[in-house]
Amino acid sequence: MKSMFDIRGKKAIISGGSRGLGKGMAQGLHDAGVELVLMGTNENVMKAAAQIHTEEVPAHGVIADFRDKKDVEKAFGSAMALLGDLDILVNNAGMQMRHPAEEFPLEDWDTVLTVNLTSAFIMSQLAGKVMLQKGYGKIINIASLLSFQGGITVPAYAASKGGIAQLTKALANEWAGRGININAIAPGYMATDNTAALRADEVRNRQILERIPAGRYGTPEDMVGTVIYLASPASDYVNGSVLVVDGGWMGR
């Protein structure tokens, strides 16, 4: 049974790995023996990598601007130079902007879609070329409850996360028979920077907690078991799925 979840010695890239859910998943993968490249937008990603790095299980940092398609490609190349190979890709980089739909600036729309969706496609395409050559790989996209629901004042985020769910299925249709597993995790309401405004709103915070059967917000640690499962041989016949980690929100 242990061998089903054994990912020691694997090599992984995780985007958005310097804080929040990404940092929690990076720690979990590293604890499982995976050599990592953490990608982030500033020097904090170098510090995050240094915090978990060991000689036995290295962790590296690469700075990437996910608003810039060329910089995403450059960052992937830098990651591959550090790792030498790639077994696991976690597309976690993401951002949020809030405006009423009738006032949502097109510039902000483009930025959110580029960071949340287009960069994930670029990373997946580049990783796919590596993984297809050897007939093995695990791509894990980070979706959202807003892959299923519309949200309020977040049309770009909802569109991007709906796109992540569909991209996951589309890539699985093409690559599942060629040795690559492509799946997504849809986190529920998590205690991260993205939900700080909601948690600070007494009324909205109460409404959210009342709907979550588990009675609490999730934490980065709540993502670890799922990401290890999807990165391991235990999920070899799982493809094109969006696994919800939400304390029961979607079942309410």
Positions annotated as catalytic residues are 157
What the block records as the tokens of 186 is: 């849809």
- Sign, CA dihedral 92-173-88-128, equals negative
Nearest CA among 58, 57, 56, 59 for reference residue 48 = 59
How many C-beta atoms surround the C-beta of residue 188 within 10 A? 21
Q: How far is CA 37 from the centre of its chain?
A: 14
Which is it for strands 242-245 and 11-15: parallel, antiparallel or unpaired? unpaired
70 contact partners, CB below 8 Å, separation of at least 6? none
Specify the DSSP class assigned to residue 218: B
Beta strands in 3-58 (DSSP E): 11-15, 35-40
| Residue that has been written with the tokens 């009342």 in this structure | 210
Beta strands in the chain (DSSP E): 11-15, 35-40, 59-63, 88-91, 137-142, 180-187, 242-245
- The answer to whether 57 and 49 are in contact (CB under 8 A) is no
